[in-house]
Structure 1
Amino acid sequence: MIDVYTSPTPNGHKVTVTLDEMGVEYNLIPVDLASGEQKIPAFLAMNPNGRIPVIVDRDNDDFVVFESGAIMVYLAEKYGKFYPRDPKVRSRALQWLMFQMGGVGPMMGQANVFYRYFPEKIQPAIERYQNECRRLFEVLDRRLAEAPYLAGDEITIADFANWCWVRTHNWSGASVEGLEHLNRWLDELYDRPGCQSGIAKPVRIEDSEELIKHARNMVTR
């Protein structure tokens, strides 16, 4: 059984979408970010960076994996799904996964903060990050004009990773208007049952005491 410590954010959804697409049963343990549960010592014992998501593979000596991209690779290797066997195609999947980790996620995150949450509206900062988001969306659009999915003809973890972020573009104020191939891809993944269920997982904050119980077990093992 896989324990998943998470919250309903794009990075959190990357893991639940991957698991649901793979048809893997898992134990969902909510982390209340607003109250800072990700910073308690028991959680930091699993992820020193104090961020979600984290998984614990109970069937593999309670092995802990943090960082959403690393978790996706671990699951893809463990279950042999959405991870191409051909080395070149697999490399392309990893390249586009890193594209999301190093570009799409950080830029959309900053755009979201300055556009929606920062107490002072700093227009140059808002435009800088929104423009960079749009540039990255255009990169994805050009790639998806060449192939149905980011790595080629088969869907991979790279598609799930990028989709979980790009689908939230309205939150950052970045537009996908006119990007025909990107929108085709967004709609196609929305139609997948695993993607639908993965982003709709009920994370009940009132059950978050389970986080402390499970994490403390990890510390004492």
Structure 2
Amino acid sequence: MYTAYLADTPNGRKIPIALEELALDYRVQPVDLGADEQHTPAFERMSPNGKIPVLVDGASGAALFESNAILFHLAATSGRLIPDNPAGRATVLQWLFLQAASIGPMLGQLWWFRHASPTPNPQALARYTKEARRLYGVIERRLATTPYIAGDSYTVADIACWPWLVTHDELGLDIAAWPAVAAWLDQVAARPAVQRGLARSAEPAHV
């Protein structure tokens, strides 16, 4: 049994989606970001950077932080959602790193300046909108040549990217500009494990 410490954010949603896809037993422990629960000493002992999600293995007590590290661990230990050959794994890792280094931070900044900034900042909005559009273009070109982010099979690379890229409406981006991305978003959204994972992350208090 795992315990997933999370909030209903793109990074938080990744973990129950993966756990549902792998049919692993887990419970959700909600973390109230508004109350700064992620910055308590107890939480920071598990996640030194004070960020969700964290996954705790009930058998060993080991805690993992950083969402894509958790995804890679689950895939590698289960032997699913990742290729078993070095070249295939390297491909998955490249896209996991791109999501962590670029897609998440840039789309996150765009969301903040659109919805949370106390003062309007047209320069920031223009900068992050331009970068978000560029990144959607990167994924569009990839998905124009392969059915999934890392190749022919659904992997943790898709699980990492999907919760971020599906927020295009909130970001003020017209997904029609990227038809391959739009089709992939719909295909992933239709997966039963994705639907179950989203339900678990959206209603953690009821788990």
TM range (shorter): over 0.9
Q: CA deviation at 1:177?
A: 2.1
SS in 2 for 1:24: coil
Flag structure 2 segments of 5+ consecutive residues without an equivalent: none
Alignment of 1:52-201 (within 5 A): 52-59=52-59, 61-201=60-200
Once the two structures are TM-superposed, the CA of residue 185 in structure 1 deviates from its matched residue by: 0.4
Q: Distance in 2 between matches of 1:64 and 1:22?
A: 19
Q: What's the TM-score once normalised by structure 2's chain length? A: 0.95
Tell me by how many angstroms 1:78 deviates: 1.5
Please say if 1:29 is aligned against 2:29: yes
How far apart, in 1, do the equivalents of 2:16 and 2:77 lie? 15
- Would the aligned equivalents of 1:131 and 1:174 in 2 still touch at CA under 8 Å? no
Match of 1:204 in 2: 205
Number of the residue aligned with 1:51: 51
Q: Which residue type is aligned with residue 147 of structure 2?
A: P
* 1:14, distance to aligned residue in structure 2 (A): 0.8
Q: One-letter code of the match for 1:12?
A: G
8 Å CA contact 1:21–1:195 kept in 2: the answer is yes
Secondary structure of 1:65's counterpart equals strand
Measured after TM superposition, the shift of residue 119 of structure 1 is 1.0
Which one has a bigger Cα radius of gyration? 1
In 2, the alpha carbon distance for the partners of 1:155 and 1:189 equals 9
Q: Structure 1 CA distance, aligned partners of 2:7 and 2:44?
A: 16
Output the CA distance in 2 between the equivalents of 1:172 and 1:145.
23
Query: Within 1, Cα distance between the matches of 2:88 and 2:18?
Result: 19
Identity of aligned residues (%): 41
Distance in structure 2 (CA, Å) of the matches to 1:175 and 1:107: 17
Q: Contact 1:12–1:52 at 8 Å: present in 2 too?
A: yes
CA RMSD of aligned residues (A): 1.3
Distance of 2:19 and 2:29 partners within structure 1: 14
Aligned residues of 1:111 and 1:173 also touching (Cα < 8 A)? no
Secondary structure in 1 matching 2:29? strand
Distance in 1 between the 2:132 and 2:98 partners?
12
| Structure 1: runs of 5+ lacking an equivalent | 208-221
Q: TM-score, normalised by structure 1?
A: 0.90
Displacement of 1:49 in angstroms is: 0.9
Question: What are the within-5 Å matches in structure 2 for residues 6-25 of structure 1?
Answer: 6-25=6-25
Q: Residues of 1 paired with 2:177 and 2:39: CA distance? A: 41
The alpha carbon displacement at 1:25 in A equals: 1.3
